[in-house]
Amino acid sequence: MAKKQQIVAATWGVRSSFHSLLALLVTLLFIAAVYLTQNNGQSLLVHDTITSTMNPGDQCNLFSGKWVFDDESYPLYKEQQCTFMSDQLACEKFGRKDLSYQFWRWQPHQCDLPRFNATELLEKLRNKRLVFVGDSLNRGQWVSMVCLVDSSIPPSLKSMHHNGSLITFKALEYNASIEFYWAPLLVESNSDDPVNHRVPDRIVRVQAIEKHARHWTDADILVFNSYLWWRRSQMKVLWGSFESSDGIHKNVTMPRVYEMALRTWSDWLEVNINPNKTQMFFMSMSPTHQSSEEWGEAANGNCYSETEAITTEGYWGRNSNPKIIEIVESVLGDLRKRGVNVTMINITQLSEYRKEGHPSIYRKQWEALTEEEISNPSSYADCIHWCLPGVPDAWNELLYAYIFQQ
C-alpha cells in the first residue's frame, strides 16, 4: 500500500491528491444532504433522475413538477374508443359532464417527459411480456397502458384473455403481451380471488409467494404495487397453509407486517429473476382524497363534485403514510446492494394534487344503491381509483420514460 501511495504521489503530487480527496468529501456530503432532505415534514420518496430531454447532459427529477392544462395534445386516447375500457374507470360513460380531468399533462420542473409513442413501445415489447402485478390501482394502470396502445393495433391483431388472476392483452403482430396479475398483497392471502376478495377478516401468509410469483418468472418487464390493501392498524398473519387446521395465527401491527411481506417478495426476486433480462419497477402509493378538510374545504366532504386540481406545491394528504415509503426505500436499497435493481416510480406527490381525477359517483355500481346513498352521493363516491383517460396515463408516461432510459 505504501509503495502504491508513493507512485500516486509521484504522479499527481500531494497537493492534487488532497484536493481530490476534499472534492470527494464535499460530493459525498452533498449527496447525503439531498438524501436526507424532507418535504413539508414528509419523507421524500426516491428522487431518481433521468437524462433531461432538453439538455441531454443533465439529469432531471421527473417526479418534481406541476400539472399543466393541455387540451391540444391531451388526452392521449378517447375513452369511448378504447376497446377494453373498464366500467370502473369510464367516468364519461357513466355520466360525468365535466371532462377537464382528461386534459392535464404532468410537467417536470427541469425537463420534458418523452411523448408516449405506442408503436415504439410495442416494438420494444416484441416477443416480450410486460406484467403489472398488484391491486385494483395497478389494474387501472394496466387498463391505461392497454388503452394507450389500443388504437395503434388493428382489431384483428389484438386479443384479451382471462385466466383466473391473470388477464392478458396480446398485440399479435408483435407477439407482445401486456398483462395484469391480481395479487393485492403480493404474498399469498385470503383476498387472492380476483372476483370474491372482500373478506371481513383479512389473513396474509407473509412467507408464501410462490403461488403468485410462478406466473411472473419469465416476464421481461415487471411493474409492482401494493399499499391500498394494507391500510389498517394490523393484519392477521398465518404461518402454515389455509388448507391445514394446525396453522399458527398472530396479529401483527402495521407497518411491520408490510415489511415482512416485502422482504419475502424481495428475496424471491433475488433468487428467481435475472436482472440482466428483466426490468423491474415498483409504483409508490396512490393517494386517496376522502377528506376535503385536508385541502382546506368543509369537513365531511370528499372528492365528490371536485372539478379542480390542488395547486399548493408539496400538498400531502394524511392517508399517504411516509413510514410505508421508508420501508419500500429500505427494501429496494437492500436489493440493490445484492445486485437486483427495482426502480421506484414516485406517483404519490404528483397524484396528490389531482383530487378531481377520481370516478366519484361516475362508475358502474356493482350493487344497487340504497335510498340513503342516493340522497347523499358523497357517501358512495369512489375517491380511491382514477378516471380514464386521466392520472394513470401520466404514471405510464413515467414508466415509458424509464423503460427506454434503461
Q: How far is 401 from 406, CA to CA, in rounded Å?
A: 9
CA atoms within 13 A on the CB side of 162: 5
CA distances from 86 to 139, 235, 364, 368 (A): 10, 30, 9, 19
Using CA atoms, how far apart are residues 182 and 231, in angstroms rounded to an integer?
18
To the query of whether residue 136 is one of the catalytic residues in this protein, the response is yes
**Nearest by Cα to 254 from 204, 199, 192:** 204
Which residues are CB-neighbours of 31 under 8 A, at least 6 positions away? Answer: none
Which residue among 86, 135, 136, 192 is the active-site one?
A: 136
Among 191, 212, 385, 393, the one annotated catalytic: 385
3-state secondary structure 19-72: HHHHHHHHHHHHHHHHHHCEECCEECCCCCCEECCCCCCCEECCCCEEEEECCC
Measured between alpha carbons, how far is 369 from 125 in angstroms, rounded to an integer? 42
- Mapped onto helix, strand or coil, the DSSP state of residue 322 is helix
Instruction: Copy the grid coordinates of residue 345.
Output: 416510480
Report the chain's terminal Cα–Cα distance, integer Å: 38
CA distance 256 to 371: 41
DSSP symbols for 165-219: TEEEEEETTTTEEEEEEE-TTSSEETT--SSS---SS-EEETT--HHHHTTTTT-
CB atoms within 10 A of CB 249: 10
Grid-cell match 437486483, residue found: 340
Q: In terms of Cα–Cα distance, which of 269, 303, 278, 273 is closest to 289?
A: 303
Distance between CA atoms of 375 and 361, rounded to whole angstroms? 12
Distance CA 239, CA 249 (A): 6
The residues assigned a catalytic role are 136, 382, 385
